[in-house]
Amino acid sequence: DAKTTQPNSMESNEEEPVHLPCNHSTISGTDYIHWYRQLPSQGPEYVIHGLTSNVNNRMASLAIAEDRKSSTLILHRATLRDAAVYYCILRDTGNQFYFGTGTSLTVIP
């Protein structure tokens, strides 16, 4: 099962962009890249996912490297409510989610 590597923690100032990196050097051609986040005392929530092309939604953007061995979740303007643990996950058809340890994002007012 393909695994991901993320920094344990990151800090960002409020209202500044945040780039959360994820390495997945063993990704297969059919693995989708998913991002979830978990706010304190809540279950994880979906953020974004993609296969090859960059993706945007109302919460964030996902930039995927051309070789797909890494990706970056971009929060365009961090708010205090974005403080959470962010998980980068690879998933292939028929396989379960492996959440890993994630990146704990601290947003500084």
Partner 1 sequence: KAGVTQTPRYLIKTRGQQVTLSCSPISGHRSVSWYQQTPGQGLQFLFEYFSETQRNKGNFPGRFSGRQFSNSRSEMNVSTLELGDSALYLCASSLSTSTAQDTQYFGPGTRLTVL
In angstroms, the CA 75 to CA 92 distance is 25
Segment interacting with partner 1, rule: CB under 8 A, options 18-26, 31-39, 53-61, 62-70:
31-39
42 binds partner 1 (CB under 8 A): yes
59 binds partner 1 (CB under 8 A): no
Structure tokens at 34: 């998913």
Instruction: Check if the beta carbon of residue 46 is closer than 8 Å to that of residue 21.
Output: no
**What is the smallest separation between the CB atom of 42 and partner 1, expressed in angstroms?**
6
- Coil vs helix vs strand at 66: coil
Q: How many chain residues touch partner 1 (CB under 8 A)?
A: 23
In angstroms, the CA 104 to CA 83 distance is 8
74 binds partner 1 (CB under 8 A): no
97 binds partner 1 (CB under 8 A): yes
CB atoms within 10 A of CB 2: 16
Interface positions with partner 1 (CB under 8 A): 30-32, 36, 42-46, 49, 87, 91-102
